[in-house]
Amino acid sequence: MTGAGDDVAGGPPAGLHEHRDATDAEARALASGVRLRILRATLDEPLTNREIAEALDLNPATCLHHVRTLVDTGFLEALEVRRGRRGAREIPYRATGKSWYTRSPVGASSMLEAFLAEIALVPEDERGAMTRLGLRLPEEQMEEFRDRLHALIMEFHDRPRDPDAQPWSFFLSLHPDTSQRRTGR
């Protein structure tokens, strides 16, 4: 349907309005659930490496490796240096929105990994609506279903982000159902 799924307030960077296939370096960058979580963490607010590491419970050196990979591939941008604790030089990073428009053949596993890590931190009573649906539709109706889902997601993606609203995440996976016998009828 779409790429790794993050965007920034105000829309994507110039020239990134069309979905495109990832380069090898971009695909490798998006192949990590940790990197996708970094993009999500820096979606609405620029964070320093230390702040990202704290938010995701990562070792700062490990986090910096992932941050540099995301910066090198354009998924994360370094902003103007600022002074942090005790006057230390800190670089805040912000997601560029490029991942939303980048299709990666290895992105599905990393998206699932990021989703599972994020949902595990949400208390059961705060998880919101969850559903599973088994479908058996003719191909033209399946295509209509995909198109309508995509249109709905893009409609909400393209709305301006409200910085005062509670942040929510959405995960969708459409896949062949391996739990049921496939028939040729």
pLDDT band at 32 (very low <50, low <70, confident <90, very high): very high
The beta strand positions in 87-181, using DSSP E, are 89-90, 92-95, 102-103
Read off the pLDDT of each residue in 127-146 and give the average, rounded to a whole number: 91
> Lowest-confidence range among 28-42, 54-68, 103-117?
103-117
Task: Provide the 3-class DSSP secondary structure of residue 82.
Answer: strand
Whether pLDDT at 5 is above 80: no
Whether pLDDT at 87 is above 90: no
Whether pLDDT at 13 is above 70: no
Annotate 132-158 with DSSP letters as a single string.
Answer: -------HHHHHHHHHHHHHHHHHHHT
* Helix, strand, coil abundance in the chain, percent, nearest 5: 45, 10, 50
Whether pLDDT at 78 is above 80: yes
Query: What is the model's pLDDT at position 85?
Result: 76
CA 17 centroid distance within chain: 16
Q: Mind listing the pLDDT tens digit for each residue in 104-135? A: 877 678 889 999 999 999 999 888 888 888 99
